[in-house]
Structure 1
Amino acid sequence: MRFLSFRHQHRETYGAVQHDRIVDLGHQFGTLAPDLKRLIEFDLLGEAAAYASTATDTLGFDDVALLPVIPNPGKILCVGLNYGEHVRESGRELTEQPTIFVRVADSQLAHGESIVRPRESLKLDYEGEIALVIGKGGRRIREDDAYDHIAGYACYNDASVRDWQLATSQWTAGKNFWRTGSFGPWMVTRDAIADDHVMTLTTRLNGEVLQHSTTDKLIHSVPRLIAHVSTFTPLAPGDVIVTGTPGGVGSRRTPPVWMQPGDCVEVEVDAIGVLRNTIVAE
Structure 2
Amino acid sequence: MKVGRFLISGKETYGFVKDGKIATKEEIISKTGIPIPLTIKEFLFDGWYSEVISQNPKLDYAVSISDVKILAPIPNPPKIICLAFNYVDHAKEQNLTPPQEPAIVMIPRTTLNGTNSEIVCPSFVKQLDYEVELALVIGKGGKNIPESESLSHIFGYMVFNDVSARDVQAQDKQFGRAKGFDTFAPCGPWITTADEIADPQNLKLRTWINESLRQDSSTSNMFIKIPSIISKISKVMTLEKGDVISTGTPAGVMLNKPNAVFLQDGDKIEMEIEMLGKLENTVKFVP
**TM-score using structure 2 length:** 0.92
Are the aligned partners of 1:25 and 1:48 in contact in 2 as well (CA < 8 Å)? Answer: no
Shift of residue 56, structure 1, vs aligned partner: 2.1
User: 1:189 maps to what in 2?
Assistant: 193
Kept in 1, the 8 Å contact 2:269–2:280? The answer is yes
Deviation at 1:45, TM superposition (A): 2.9
Question: Is it true that 1:94 corresponds to 2:92 in the alignment?
Answer: no
Shift of 1:50: 6.2
- Secondary structure of 1:245 counterpart: coil
CA distance in structure 1 between the partners assigned to 2:56 and 2:284 by the alignment:
36
2:127 corresponds to which of 120, 123, 128: 123
Confirm whether residue 17 of structure 1 aligns to residue 17 of structure 2: yes
Residue 18 and residue 48 in structure 1: after superposition, are their counterparts in 2 closer, same or farther (change >3 A)? farther
One-letter code of the match for 2:76? N
1:180 aligns with 2:181: no
SS of 2:234's partner is helix
Q: What amino acid is the match of 1:63? A: D
Match for residue 39 of structure 1 among 36, 39, 43: 43
Distance in 2 separating the partners of 1:168 and 1:249: 19
Structure 1 pair 51–260 and aligned structure 2 pair: CA distance change class (3 A): farther
C-alpha contact 1:16 1:49 (8 A) present in aligned 2: no
Q: 1:78 to 1:61 in 2, by over 3 A?
A: same
Q: Select 1:210's aligned residue among 214, 219, 222.
A: 214
The verdict on how the C-alpha distance between 1:144 and 1:57 changes in structure 2, with shifts beyond 3 A counting, is: closer
Alpha-carbon distance, 1:27 to partner: 6.0
Q: How much has 1:262 moved relative to structure 2?
A: 1.4
TM-score normalised by structure 1 residue count:
0.93
* Corresponding residue for residue 113 of structure 1: 117
Distance 2:52 2:209 in 1: 36
Q: Distance in 1 between matches of 2:200 and 2:78?
A: 28
- For 2:238, give the aligned amino acid: P
Q: Is contact 1:18-1:53 (8 Å) kept?
A: no
Structure 2 residue 231 is the aligned partner of structure 1 residue 227: yes
Pick one of 256, 262, 280 that aligns with 1:258.
Answer: 262
CA distance in 1, matches of 2:200, 2:69: 33
Change (3 A) 1:197 1:127: closer
8 Å contact kept, 1:213–1:246: yes
Is this contact kept in 2: 1:80–1:101, CA < 8 A? Answer: yes
Q: Identify unmatched segments of 5+ residues in structure 2.
A: none
Q: Equivalent pairs: percent with the same residue?
A: 34
Q: CA deviation at 1:205?
A: 0.7
Check whether the contact 1:78–1:241 (CA below 8 A) recurs between aligned residues: yes
The residue matched to 2:275 in structure 1 has which SS?
coil
Give the aligned residue type for 2:243.
D
Structure-2 change in CA distance of 1:52 and 1:9 (3 Å):
farther
Instruction: Give unmatched runs, 5+ long, in structure 1.
Output: none
Report the RMSD for the aligned CA atoms in angstroms. Answer: 1.9
* Counterpart Cα distance in 1 of 2:183 and 2:222: 27
Distance 1:33 1:141, change over 3 A: farther
Q: Hey, what's the Cα distance between the residues in 2 that align with 1:32 and 1:24?
A: 11
Which residue identity is paired with 1:143?
E
Match of 1:269 in 2: 273
In 2, the alpha carbon distance for the partners of 1:191 and 1:256 equals 40
Determine if contact 1:3/1:14 at 8 Å carries over to the other structure: yes
Q: Residue 80 in 1 paired to residue 90 in 2?
A: no
1:200 to 2:200 alignment: no
